[in-house]
Structure 1
Amino acid sequence: MEHVDDWTQDGISTERAYEGEPIPSLSETITPRSLMVSLILGTTLSVVAMEVSLNSGILPSLSAPAGLLGFFFSHAWIRILDFFKVSHMPFTRQENTVVQTCIIACCAITYSGGFGTYILAMGKNAAGGDARDRSNIVEPSLRRLIPFLFLISFAGLVIVMPFKKVMIIRHQLTFPSGIATGHLINSFHNPSGASQARKQVKMFFGSFGGTIIWSFFQWFYTAGRGCGFETFPIFGLKAYALGYYFDFSMSNIGIGMICPHMITISMFVGNLLWWLVLCLSHTSNNGAWYAVNLKVDFLRDITSYKVFIGVAMMITDGLFNFLCILSRTLWVMSKPCKQPIQGCIDNKAQSSWSLSCTNREHVAKCFDDRRRAQVFMRDQIPNLVNICYYVLISIVSTIGIPFLYPQLRSYHIALIYISIPLCAFCNAYGMGITDINLASSYGKLTMGIFGSWVGLNNGGLIIELVACGVMVGAVSNGADLMQDLKTGYITLTSPHVVFVSKMIGTSLGCIISPMVFWIIYGCNTGNKNILEVPYAKVYRSIAMLTTGENVLAEDTKRVCWIFSVFALVLNVLREVAKRKQWRVVSCIPSTVGIAVAFFVPERIFIDMLVGCLLTFVWKRTNTNMAQMYLLALASGLICGDGLGSLMSSVLTLLHAQAPMCIKFLSHIDNMKLDGFLKTLPTL
């Protein structure tokens, strides 16, 4: 047994530290404590995710904050029980995994539910000048959204379960985010990890509380239209009129701190490209590329060029990545299994294991693999049960969705559900290799197929958007489940437990997300438009393009083709630079980042640039502290701003009036105001 001790010391075996602990059962892992913590944090982070996705269209990963907050709140619950001397079960890493899985499943509905994409793309605000076609307009309704989400959100979960052994055990796919979250949870449950987690939580709540206080402080100065610090013209009033100003959005600053710096820089490059090149060309082509003195029409004025150029670049980027990941997936699947790893996993292949594990570090990893594989293969749900559930969900959805959206026919939905198993498998497999969820690409591909099939008449746009929603809801949730199964594999959590946790969290999300959306959407009344929703018009535009109808300004398609080629060249250059390991690869702008700049307001990437700059300075001055606290600080900013925005929305719904107004005027306007105030009688 001496060599076992050596493995623990030199071989960095994780599971040796937990070898004496029994694996908790389903009832010991999914507890009232874990469900209550999941409900509280799932609701809070859903508010944050909804606010961010509606206004910026960029949703950062919430896996790490979910695991961190789940650990903290569960420990706080235990301390309260200890204070009142109430007996309780210990908080294990398996229960931490359950909490994290439920929270992420609940928050994921804000993305797969399409609130910032295809749901609002059906409404009249996204339609613009095309809003006269009533057959292609469906306004959001809470009574329609909740049943629709329940119909589309569970098919992907049950259909990918039969593939879990192939992806995680046989092919040993990495699922980088899942494995990182698993190691994070493992680190929380040892003494040093718990101490570090408490420090990170302290930083999180410090920034969280400060951001909420700042949100309330801002609200007190918004008594009238155009009032408040959100309209601070830091670059001057002329730049402010063009949309360039700093609005003190803590969530966007936090996003800029989390997102890779090249994404933020690429957004700046995209905006610069638009203003320095295209606007000059449009000014010289006034009356040629679009009609002079044309009333605002989303499809035929200058806006069509800006929006559809971004759409063309995003479609090109999505297709390029889709083909790259598909080819890479097929290549990996064609390779034989790695015999040394399989030998370490197989209990019967002792000779193979002893021969392949020739050094201590490899021996430790082999022990971890064997231990994790043993737990992973327990409590299996029969594949036949999953297939039967999928068939049942397909039948119910095929019957139910046409009642919610009468433009569709049952055979439309049936054809989608026939193709979902293949798409869900390919997306989950590709995500395991690249950590990229391409559910939106599958949704856009579905829109293209249905657009060329049904056309524009008789509600063709609604058919496309709903078909996109059905595909995205299934494919996205299926890939997320496989990511969570990888986390469960690392933390020795049974796949059965992870699956049940995912079902519970998804059910909560199907209720919580629509309600949060409805509260925010209810404030979008009158002249106060608080929803940016940049991607709603993107999806509406894609639906229009795929119908084949000639509804755009005359030269839009030609300009879009030029930028599609530009996006393709950029993607090919980046791929070649990665393969050749060129140093310039870190300087190549992101195609998606450039495309996003054509949709989002200028103030958003200005906020992100501030966050990016703060991160750069912090890492330069104190690298260790930045690595330890950066994620906690940024998450606190995002969560605090999201919760503060929701509270402001509730105050608006309650017709509460801010007591003061702060406004920034030019020198001439300020002199006029002073002259007017002098004419008023003094009290």
Structure 2
Amino acid sequence: MSPIEQRPSLEDDELPSPSLAKPSPSPPSHSPELTLRALLPGLLIGTLLCFTNLYFGLQTGWISMMSLQSALLGYLLSLAPGFPKLPKFTPQENVILQTVAVATGTMPLAAGFVGIIPALGLLNVEDDGQPALLLGFWQGIGWAAAVAFFGVFLAAPLRKQVIIKENLPFPSGTATAQLISVMHSAPPSTLRHRRPAPTSSGGEYTALPTTTPSSDPDPDPESLPSADDSELSLTQLQADATQGWRALGWSFCASGLLTLGAYFVPVLFFIPVFDIFHRGLAREWLWWFSPSLSYVGQGIIMGFPITLSMNLGMLVGWGMLSPLSKLSGWAPGPVGDMQTGARGWILWTSLSIMCAESVVSLIPVVVEAVSLLFGRQKTAEEEEEEDEEDEERLVPTKWWAWGLAGTSVLGVLGVWAVFHDEGGKIWAVAIGFLMGGVLSVLGVRALGETDLNPVSGLGKISQLLFAVLQPGNVVANIIAGGVAEAGAQQAGDLMQDLKTGHLLHTSPRAQLYSQLLGSLFSIFVTVGAYDLYKRAYPIPGPAFPAPTAYVWLSLARLLRDGSLPPQSGKFMLASAGLAIAVAALKVRAQRSGYAWAKWVPSGVAFAIGFLNTPSFSIARLIGGVVEYAYYRRKGRGHEGIWLIIVASGFVLGEGTVSVLTLVLKTAGIGAATCWGCVDGVCPSC
């Protein structure tokens, strides 16, 4: 790792080129945008992402927006034989395609199917006073529909403030716009951010880190392919379209075949390699290695700093606190038991770190929002910019006002219809949507400044409120957090896409249509996929532990009765204090534009390392190292796109083949052999 130098705040003439703050000149009014050849591939790619995000979300609690990958896959698809070529596929169509794909692909988190819904299935009469709540298919449709659109209409009124007036960087949205402009040989004018774009962060939900190549061995979000490379990149991509599909194909097939092989021979994903150091590390302490190419691909997408933070958390949680709690008698059960074992004990430390970092990261956002609310004097540098879009391309005020009101009312009625008074009194559910709207504003601003949408932390803030409004009601507490999480994520998704569209002159109205279409379609895809997984596997269970479900439920129980496992309170306070200090340092460094800010550990990524067994984190670290080494060697240029293609193939391969293994499991076809498996490790044996 090269030495890291302190970088002061950048002035306009020091900002790296190119970075995008304003859109390029408007395209001709007849340029196609909302077309079938953009919408249909967007729905197809989004469906693949939906299955993939549900699969990995239930395994690890982490999903990705995948906007960069969606744009790249859409562009490669436009070069494929048989794709309608007249008129030429435009950058604006590519924006619409990735908007639809993102809206479809992120619904598993927006509707809580990787956390909230599994948490309700963990309820029991002894601990919670009521049995588990297991939603049927149509109940799932009702819940998802209730929360799927509220955040979409929240984004429209915020666009003018955060994108036009304040010109927040939204690093991943900016990176996606740059990639699209390079591929289409239509670079926006080289205009710069007023402020440097902060380094990308990670979390339970994070927009895709900007992994485009740079000559700097430690690329920043602004280190993107330059306008000068556009013609070369376009020529290369067109000439090598077959090579691009070949790279995507072999990486997809390699990951898929390995996944299928691991289904029939489970030891392939549960190699007890650490037993060479101490017998029983796999069976008793859950230390094994999973050579999953999809995890490697996710590590490439996350980037080296995030995977490093995750593995630091893994070492502290599973290498130090897990054996400490077990050997001290604080967690006497089996290590993997979430109730009495070390895995459940270290969860509390993870929860305190998540909450602490979320609060700290939101403080500057709240301060700035309050100052704007009370009419802070604008400097000459902050004068309001005019929106260059034509009026007929914008979302009319009455549209988003009626949409926001309508989706709020329908959402309240929908949640109450599914859960009745178990999910809270109808007035309390209404307050939950109001709270979700306020918290969504904070989430959007945090995403715009830091590239991190702290939806999990925002949901927990809502849980704290409902501990007062509906004391003792665990279900209402979890549902309130789910409503806030859904609103913040949907609003953040569309705002990130609106930034991309703003830079490439795509109609905000067309993007609203795209988001609504993707969300509507994904309701049925997500609920159907979850229903299939639930029929084939216990959720949570060995194959799909759904770690964030325990986080939601544990906090709800803590707020109800205040009980904690032995000695965990002391570690929670100590870890929260340390997380606050580190998060404050990171926020300060990011806002000042220091280059070393990205190397300050991400608290949420650190905490995710606690929630997942070591195998998940180790494989991702391999991907992070590959990403760092590749860009250090290749530097700036079109060649960096191939790493994104390969990483996408790795991730999509396992996610897609998991549907096949799901069918096999449902049909009663299991593992072919348990040879080499360690008792108690492989879920199939």
Partner of 1:219: 260
Supply the distance in 1 between the matched residues of 2:359 and 2:499 (Cα, whole angstroms): 27
CA apart distance, 1:54: 1.5
- The range that moved more, 36-45 or 198-207, is 198-207
Instruction: Kindly indicate whether the alpha-carbon contact (under 8 Å) linking 2:65 and 2:105 is maintained by their aligned counterparts in 1.
Output: no
The superposition leaves residues 118-139 of structure 1 with CA deviations (integer Å, 9 ceiling, x where unpaired) of: 1111112xx5x77664626212
CA apart distance, 1:56: 1.8
Paired letter, 2:432 = I
Partner of 1:107: 105
Instruction: Kindly indicate whether the alpha-carbon contact (under 8 Å) linking 1:204 and 1:636 is maintained by their aligned counterparts in 2.
Output: no
Partner of 2:280: 238
Equivalent position SS for 2:106: helix
Which of 532, 540, 551 matches 1:519? Answer: 532
Paired letter, 2:89 = F
CA apart distance, 1:272: 2.5
Q: 1:177 to 1:159 in 2, by over 3 A?
A: same
Which of 11, 22, 30 matches 2:28? Answer: 22
Q: 1:478 to 1:627 in 2, by over 3 A?
A: same
Partner of 1:316: 356
Task: Say yes or no: does 1:31 pair with 2:35.
Answer: yes
Paired letter, 1:319 = V
Task: Say yes or no: does 1:46 pair with 2:50.
Answer: yes
Paired letter, 2:45 = L
Which of 427, 432, 438 matches 2:443? Answer: 427
Matched ranges for 1:50-129 at <5 A: 50-76=54-80, 79-81=82-84, 88-124=86-122, 127=123
Higher-Rg structure is 1
Supply the distance in 2 between the matched residues of 1:182 and 1:409 (Cα, whole angstroms): 44
Partner of 1:151: 146
The superposition leaves residues 137-157 of structure 1 with CA deviations (integer Å, 9 ceiling, x where unpaired) of: 212432111121111121222
Task: Say yes or no: does 1:139 pair with 2:134.
Answer: yes
Supply the distance in 2 between the matched residues of 1:76 and 1:106 (Cα, whole angstroms): 23
Supply the distance in 1 between the matched residues of 2:33 and 2:436 (Cα, whole angstroms): 31
Q: 1:453 to 1:229 in 2, by over 3 A?
A: same
- The range that moved more, 559-568 or 570-579, is 570-579
Partner of 1:679: none
The superposition leaves residues 193-234 of structure 1 with CA deviations (integer Å, 9 ceiling, x where unpaired) of: 43344558844653544443453355356557xx43112222
Supply the distance in 2 between the matched residues of 1:573 and 1:12 (Cα, whole angstroms): 28
Matched ranges for 1:603-618 at <5 A: 603-618=615-630
Instruction: Kindly indicate whether the alpha-carbon contact (under 8 Å) linking 2:311 and 2:609 is maintained by their aligned counterparts in 1.
Output: yes
The superposition leaves residues 614-667 of structure 1 with CA deviations (integer Å, 9 ceiling, x where unpaired) of: 33443454445873422222111111111122221122212235555542579x
**Gapped regions of structure 2 (runs ≥ 5):** 1-16, 186-230, 680-685
CA apart distance, 1:497: 0.9
- The range that moved more, 324-333 or 114-123, is 324-333
Could you tell me the TM-score, scaled by structure 1's length?
Answer: 0.80
Equivalent position SS for 2:395: coil
Partner of 2:581: 569
Instruction: Kindly indicate whether the alpha-carbon contact (under 8 Å) linking 1:208 and 1:640 is maintained by their aligned counterparts in 2.
Output: no
Supply the distance in 2 between the matched residues of 1:16 and 1:284 (Cα, whole angstroms): 58
CA apart distance, 1:507: 0.9
Instruction: Kindly indicate whether the alpha-carbon contact (under 8 Å) linking 1:443 and 1:467 is maintained by their aligned counterparts in 2.
Output: yes
Instruction: Kindly indicate whether the alpha-carbon contact (under 8 Å) linking 1:204 and 1:635 is maintained by their aligned counterparts in 2.
Output: no
Q: 1:486 to 1:580 in 2, by over 3 A?
A: closer
Instruction: Kindly indicate whether the alpha-carbon contact (under 8 Å) linking 1:208 and 1:639 is maintained by their aligned counterparts in 2.
Output: no
Supply the distance in 2 between the matched residues of 1:58 and 1:527 (Cα, whole angstroms): 15
CA apart distance, 1:265: 2.3
- The range that moved more, 183-192 or 652-661, is 652-661
Q: 1:222 to 1:106 in 2, by over 3 A?
A: closer
Partner of 1:375: 389
Instruction: Kindly indicate whether the alpha-carbon contact (under 8 Å) linking 2:174 and 2:499 is maintained by their aligned counterparts in 1.
Output: yes
Equivalent position SS for 1:116: coil
Q: 1:163 to 1:74 in 2, by over 3 A?
A: same
Could you tell me the TM-score, scaled by structure 2's length?
Answer: 0.80
- The range that moved more, 204-213 or 532-541, is 204-213
Task: Say yes or no: does 1:405 pair with 2:419.
Answer: yes
Q: How many residues align?
A: 609
Instruction: Kindly indicate whether the alpha-carbon contact (under 8 Å) linking 1:177 and 1:483 is maintained by their aligned counterparts in 2.
Output: yes
Paired letter, 1:380 = L
For the aligned residues, what is the CA RMSD?
A: 3.4
Supply the distance in 2 between the matched residues of 1:214 and 1:91 (Cα, whole angstroms): 30
CA apart distance, 1:14: 10
Equivalent position SS for 1:532: coil
Task: Say yes or no: does 1:395 pair with 2:409.
Answer: yes
Supply the distance in 2 between the matched residues of 1:245 and 1:112 (Cα, whole angstroms): 31
CA apart distance, 1:451: 1.9
Supply the distance in 1 between the matched residues of 2:540 and 2:170 (Cα, whole angstroms): 45
Task: Say yes or no: does 1:261 pair with 2:300.
Answer: no
Task: Say yes or no: does 1:601 pair with 2:613.
Answer: yes
Supply the distance in 1 between the matched residues of 2:593 and 2:178 (Cα, whole angstroms): 28
Task: Say yes or no: does 1:206 pair with 2:247.
Answer: yes
